[in-house]
Every structure is written in C-alpha cells, then in structure tokens.
A and B are shown apart, each in its own frame.
Chain A
C-alpha cells in the first residue's frame, strides 16, 4: 500500500543513529518482520528516489493526531549516511512522509521448539527487533550484536526487555568482547541445540554468518540491503546472485521482491569483499 504518514517522534539514539515513529494505517500492524518500506523523504526531485528502510516495530497508541481511539504507527531505525537520511533526521513531529509498504518477503519463524539466534550488525538490528518481538512469544531467543564501537550497538535494552539474552562484540572492544560477533556466535553454537539463525547487517558479517551456519549445519536466514529504485521488482537494480548463477545460466534474485530475506542456501556467496556482486 501507499500512504501518507505524519512523524510522531524522531530521536537520535547514538551519534548518527536515529529512531523515528510515524503514523500508518491499521494494516501496517500485519507486516511481517523483515519486510521493508520505501520512504519519500521530501516532495521534490532531490533526492528523487525513495529510500528503503526495514521495519523496526509497529503498534498502536493514542496520539495528538487522532481525536478518539488509538492510532496505528510504525517505527524505523536509520543511520545518517547521505542526503536522504540527513533530510529524514531534520524532520519533526507533524512533518509529512509518503510511504510505500510493507514490501518484500520477511523472515520465516519456523518451529518454535528450537533456539532462535539473531545476529545483527549496526543498523541491521532494526528488523531483528521486530522479529524478536514475534519470536519471544514461543521460543528462546538470543541476540548476537556487533559493531565497530559501542556507539554502533543500538537498542540492546529494548531486546533485553523482551527477554532476549544478548551477547555483544565490538571491533575496538568498547562494549562486550573485542572482535567479530560471528566469533562469539561460533563459540555459542558449539553447545546450542536445534538452533536457527536470523541475520541482518553489513555484507561481510552476513557472509561470515552464512559460513558459520554452513559449518555447523544450522538453518540461517539473511536479510540483505541493496541500492534500489522501485522496491517492487520493476527496476532490477537490486539483484543478487542466486545459488545457480553462472555466466551462461544467470540466476539473479531481486532483493526487493524475492527478498530482502533469503535462506542462505539460496544465494551464491562469492569470495572477496563484496559478496553479492
């Protein structure tokens, strides 16, 4: 669906990282964790295109914008990385946004009996929180969060409030263990039973997580990020290589429509830094 939305709140959580809550029509609460939104940050042609954001949360509350009853809302976490997100960070309560969504294929929770392990890097924690909220109703959930420094580790308290046990690793050791989160994850997996991994973050982290999943033979779903123009499978700008890809037999998947969540077995994980190009 396409809808107009009003900003309810827009708060800087940590330097460069923001959390925005905005109004949305009631069907938004039926969004699946892992689905995303395409947001037009202003009405003009600069920036021209919408920007993709994972859904951090949805709910209903009483706001100043509604006369009676409750107003459904959605939340995003975002990092200021360019012109579009800088404009988003300058918005205030009552400002207007044009939103398309929820879009794409979200996470599949699977059998509640097993242990659910979330692996997030930086802003990749956003869709994992929404997923955690759903998973904690029936499963034991653990979070492995990674980032460059303590400023990059967001919303851990929110996860813990849901009853999620969290493990943190930072590159500089300013919070949690020093090193990669996938190293902490691997130590845990040695003793875990019937675990499923759900990962979202930068490509090198996703690639390392997929490798850990393969080594330990545990199911793993990854949520990808990509440049995209439309978010609905038309521009073909956001494709990644699928497992059967080869020069003479192309297998491209759209991150927007076939994903953004993929089973790690569906993708071709190449060597080198990029992973998906």
Chain B
C-alpha cells in the first residue's frame, strides 16, 4: 500500500513534506523543465517587497567549503509584478504556493500581507524577518523578540491565510524568537534562514563579496539547522519547517526526526534542479522499504 506522505502546516495540507526554499527556486516556473512541479509538497516564492528591489552589487555569491555565501540583497520584481506576471502561472499547476515577503518597516510588512491575502493562488504567507528595520536604526527584526512580535502581530491582523515565520539563526536564543512569533500569532515556523558569514581573498586582501558579508547555506550548515529545529520543536506547539543543507531524503528525514513537520530544499536546487522532486521520491521509497505507513510517524521520533 502506498504510504501517506501528506502533512499539515498551520491549516495548509501539503501532498508531502518537501517544499522548495525561498530564493533558490525563482518563482517556480524556471524549474518546470527539470522536475514535475506537481510532485512537490509546496513552492515558496522568491522574497517579495512592496517595490521592486535591485539587490546588491556583484560579486554576490561565492562557494565555500561544503556551502556557499550569498549577498543577493533580496532582488525581486516587487509585489505588483508578482501578482500580474507570476501568479497566473500558478493556476496551471497543482501545488501549494506560499509567498515569501519582507519589509523594512512594520507598515510595509502589514501592507504586503494585505496585498497577498487577496490572492487566491497563494495558500499561505512566509514572513522573512531577517531584514533591518530602517525606522529603528537598522536593527534586524529577526534578532529582537519584541520587534519580531510586532511584525508578526501586524501581519496576523491583515490576513486569514496561515502565517509562517522564517527565523534567523543569527541570534543567541532561537527559542525566545520562536516563542515571540508564536505568541504574536504565527501558525508555523521555518527554521533556519542563512547564517551570516564571510570569505576573504588573501591575494587582494579584500572580502570576496561586494557586500562584505553574506548568508551561508548548503550542507555546511545542516548540523546547526538540525540543532535549532530540535530546540524550537520542543518549545512550541506549532509545526516547524526544517531548512538547512538538505541534499537527500536522508537529510530531510533527519529533520523530521528532530521535530520538523516539513522541510525546504534550498541550495541543492542550484546544483541539481530536480533535487526537490528526487527527495520526494526517495522519501516514499524509504517509507515503503521500512514499512512505515504514514510519514507523520517520523515527526519528532528522535530517541534521546
């Protein structure tokens, strides 16, 4: 018998626990030649802002040992262009689409939530709080529990769609951040965003990235992500979505054991555009070979 792979994230039913992470899968259509988008549990869009954003100067990316640093600078088409040009494609596919967005003020977050709430093709919202608050001296929303609470509360008021908050790992106490977001009304948490890092070129004595620092992703960050998912999943009642260096079904299932209800595949899609689809198939095969009838049996099944 075919095992059950579907999971529920704050009221959104996913076909399976495998989604594609924001910023690594474009708006989805770019990858249609390389995998069956309908086989995915979900697609998280590139992060959207109210106005189009240019992003950072180049170089924007550099490979590091077992991973990569990026400082793209949240380049995106803006929410108007997204609604006009990208959303119509979602009517042609049968996959859950979740819109990722960010702002530089609480008002911008709220306005984006209001705009996206009106789009029927968007099943849920993922809030990126790893951005500086321009009205508060540039402190990153996602590193201050009170600021994160305020953002999530403002978003919550503007939408009836499930709200997922993507947490920054660049904090001392991720559990405190998680609790603040859940108290403010988050339906689920994505754990983790990239870890701030840097690369230096000895020859030129300069940072490799024009932005000096960037976000580290890829297999190098998986142990940190697993640890944070495990800590957060024990502390909150809402579903956790595990993200960080997932390349294979084994990686994905480890996140489930740590307490994640679903996962997002990120950097893996860059080197293997069909990675997320392959991981879906590998999870199914694992369940069959192990005689597990329901993938949810693995969630939080870590033996400590």
Contact = CB atoms under 8 A, between A and B. Distances in A.
A227 B68 CA distance: 12
Interface residues of B, number: 35
A2 B26 CA distance: 19
A8 interface: no
B30 interface: yes
Interface stretch (B58-66, B117-125, B141-149, B176-184): B58-66
A273 B282 CA distance: 48
A150 interface: no
Nearest to B26: A234
B105 interface: no
A40 interface: yes
A48 B58 contact: no
Given A40-B271, A48-B68, A234 B54 contact: no
Contacts of B31: 232, 234
B195 to A, nearest CB: 15
A99 to B, nearest CB: 12
Contacts of B25: 234
Interface in B242-272: 247, 267, 269-272
B14 interface: no
B196 interface: no
Contacts of A227: 58-62
Interface residues of A, number: 28
A226 interface: yes
A48 B271 contact: yes
B55 A236 contact: yes
The prevalent SS among residues of B at the interface is: loop
Contact of B273 (A2, A226, A238): A2
A202 interface: no
B52 A45 contact: no
Contact of B61 (A47, A50, A237): A237
Contacts of B26: 232-234
A235 B219 contact: no
Contacts of A277: 57-59, 210
Given A229-B270, A234-B30, A236-B55, A48 B66 contact: yes
A148 B59 CA distance: 25
Contacts of A276: 58
Contacts of A236: 55, 60, 72, 75
A257 to B, nearest CB: 8
Interface in B22-79: 24-26, 30-31, 34, 52-55, 57-63, 65-68, 70, 72, 75
Contacts of B272: 2
Contacts of A45: 66, 218-219, 247
Interface string B196-237: 000000000000001000000011000000000000000000
B10 interface: no
B72 A237 contact: yes
B55 A250 contact: yes
Interface string A234-276: 1111111000000100101000000000000000000000001
Contacts of A184: none
A22 interface: no
B271 A239 contact: no
Contacts of B271: 40, 48-50, 229-230
Given A227-B62, A277-B59, A237 B70 contact: yes
8 contacts: A46-B65, A50-B271, A229-B61, A234-B30, A235-B61, A238-B58, A252-B54, A252-B55
The 5 closest A-B pairs by CB, nearest first: A250-B54, A237-B61, A277-B58, A230-B270, A229-B270
Given A47-B63, A227-B61, A276-B58, 10 more contacts: A45-B247, A48-B66, A227-B58, A229-B61, A229-B63, A236-B55, A236-B72, A236-B75, A237-B60, A250-B52
